[in-house]
Amino acid sequence: MSSSGLITQNFKFMTNDNKQQKLSDSTEPAIAYSTCYAQPLFTRIWEMPNKNTFDINCIKKLIYKYYKDEYKSVDPFANKNRIAKITNDLDPEMGTDYCMDALDFLKQFDDNSMDFVLYDPPYSPRQVSECYKKMGRTVNMQTTQSSFWGNLKKEISRITKPDGIVISFGWNTNGIGKTKNFEILEILTVAHGGQHNDTLCTVERKARLLF
């Protein structure tokens, strides 16, 4: 038993192989399961919507909870936002450091080179299509199918250092994903009321390889 009164043996089971089965097999009290640090922290907050995601107060707060000034950080879909050190947006009017397609932008960086990545892409095929049309770009099957997001995640996974943080925004909490060796630390659901979709924010850390 730890000084906080929690049963540390349960934490060990959870972090070693991340199997919930082990915990449910346990005969320890439910309190140890519900407070286990291997479970992501979930929060739900109501706040007005804003097309500039990071101008939503609780989202800005979440970003700064994980961001450090000394981090090498990148934002491939920055719009007017300037939290990350290196910013990009397809729209030249945004005045970002780079004005490239996000996938080409991410491909410039070395493997394991970034401490912190903000990933706030268009959330749906419709949003991709609207943005591309605004930029006078061709909209076709390739630009709106799921590989649009899949290819970006592959690059983000490649450039993120072990222990690096990625915060993803959208209408799902898939993030970069367990298959790419990312573990979810925290999920924030921002409810906006009316007919608006919630904005889901998923904080993940890239696991260190053990061999």
Ligand X SMILES: C[S@@+](CC[C@H](N)C(=O)[O-])C[C@H]1O[C@@H](n2cnc3c(N)ncnc32)[C@H](O)[C@@H]1O
| Interface residue list for ligand X (CB under 6 A) | 52-54, 77-81, 89-91, 101-102, 120, 122, 131
Q: How far apart are CA 24 and CA 1, in angstroms?
A: 18
What b/e sequence results for 8-20 when a residue is b if at least 16 CB atoms lie within 10 Å of its CB, and e otherwise?
eebbebbeeeeee
Sign of CA dihedral 12, 16, 19, 22: negative
Residue type, 155: E
Q: How far apart are CA 68 and CA 87, in angstroms?
A: 16
Least Å distance, CB 67 to ligand X, is: 14
Least Å distance, CB 197 to ligand X, is: 13
Taking the least distance from each CB to ligand X, the nearer of 10 and 79 is: 79
Least Å distance, CB 159 to ligand X, is: 15
DSSP 79-101: TT---SSEEB-S-GGG--SB-S-
| Residue 67 burial (C-beta neighbours within 10 Å; 0-12, 13-18, 19+) | middle
Least Å distance, CB 55 to ligand X, is: 6
The torsion of the CA quartet 182, 167, 159, 14, rounded to 10 degrees, works out to: -20
